[in-house]
Amino acid sequence: MITDSKIAVITGASSGIGAAYAERFARRGYDLVLVARRAERLQSLAASLTDQYGVRVESLVADLASEEGQARVEQRLASSPAVSVLVNNAGIARLATISTSPLQDSLAQIALNMTALTRLTHAILPGMLARNTGSIINISSVMALNTLPISSVYSGSKAFVLAFSRGLQQELADTGVKVQVVLPAATATEIWDQSGVPFAALPPEAVMTTDNLVDAALAAFDQGETVTLPSVAELGMIDNFESSRIALFGAAQTGKVAPRLQSR
Ligand SMILES: NC(=O)c1ccc[n+]([C@@H]2O[C@H](COP(=O)([O-])OP(=O)(O)OC[C@H]3O[C@@H](n4cnc5c(N)ncnc54)[C@H](OP(=O)(O)O)[C@@H]3O)[C@@H](O)[C@H]2O)c1
């Protein structure tokens, strides 16, 4: 078991964005705990990162959509003396209308994208707060900001990640624990293979490479950005969105029925 002080735990590290985060944190000298279901993928990544960067890598094979898998990873986090970074990245997308989707697809997205992320955050936080240091990186999606007829659950789950992260940022503002939420747009990963939307259907010019996405997200992390849309050039657009959201919330605090809804 890894016991040194500079450890990054990355969920969904067997492919795509999570595998790229694993490589970047290994390059930065972190020992790693990599979580996913596909043991062979994890082990081969672990071997290559140890070989390349001399870091220690533990593969933790777990199904984070299951109660048993969540509890096992939770225990591993809670028992780790000094995990300094948690990347809550594991996620699935099942893009289809609710009326044509099996209930199981909706529940699996909720279990992985929301419940696992929440449980692992609960598990890691007491240790980070006790040491007054640590970073949590939550992977949301631009679909948190947009809902399509085929994305009710996926968009809802990613909107949860965004709201959850914003709340945590406020809760932890006066501590040494930092939270970044990342909202990638379309990125070239295996997620599309089982999403219901073929990767080939995406406009190529709208798709980012995994390397570019993770390098940009980590550049933002290093700059202390808290809400990161790696493909949005104008930071002002994010600020405007925040201002509108807060203005709308404020406008709801009247205690009065809106004139259009008053009974005549
Ligand atoms: N690609 C995009 O366009 C895009 C855009 C916005 C946001 N995102 C978000 O980015 C994150 C990473 O996705 P990706 O695009 O890199 O896709 P990916 O290549 O399919 O990676 C998903 C990772 O999650 C793991 N995973 C899936 N189900 C799991 C389970 N039940 N238990 C444990 N691990 C599980 C997978 O590993 P195993 O299969 O080995 O378990 C894999 O390592 C997700 O949260 C996704 O929603 C992606």
Q: Is residue 262 part of a domain?
A: no
Residue 230 Cβ inside 6 Å of ligand 1? The answer reads no
Q: Report how far ligand 1's centroid is from the alpha carbon of 256 (Å).
A: 44
Task: State the pLDDT at residue 4.
Answer: 47
- Ligand 1 centroid from CA 257, angstroms: 44
Residue 2 lies in a domain: no
For 241, the enclosing helix (H) or strand (E) is: helix 235-251
In a domain, 263, yes or no: no
Q: Whose CA is nearest to atom 17 of ligand 1?
A: 191
Q: Please state the pTM of the whole predicted model.
A: 0.97
Q: Which of 201, 187, 199 shows the shortest CA–CA distance to 229?
A: 187
Residue closest via CA to ligand 1's atom 20 equals 191
Residue 154 annotated to the active site: yes
Residue 251: domain span: 7-255
Whole-number pLDDT of residue 80: 80
The predicted structure's pLDDT at residue 5: 58
Give the number of domains in the chain: 1
Q: How far is the CA of 188 from the centre of ligand 1 (A)?
A: 11
In a domain, residue 264? The reply is no
Which CATH number is 104's domain given? Answer: 3.40.50.720
The reply to whether 244 falls in a domain is yes
pLDDT digit string (tens) for the chain, length 264 residues: 444 459 999 999 999 999 999 999 999 999 999 999 999 999 999 999 999 999 999 999 999 999 999 999 999 998 887 799 999 999 999 999 999 999 999 999 999 999 999 999 999 999 999 999 999 999 999 999 999 999 999 999 999 999 999 999 999 999 999 999 999 999 999 999 999 999 999 999 999 999 999 999 999 999 999 999 999 999 999 999 999 999 999 999 999 999 999 997
Q: Where are the beta strands (DSSP E) in the chain?
A: 7-11, 31-36, 57-61, 83-88, 134-139, 177-182, 227-228
Does a structural domain hold residue 261? no
In a domain, 200, yes or no: yes
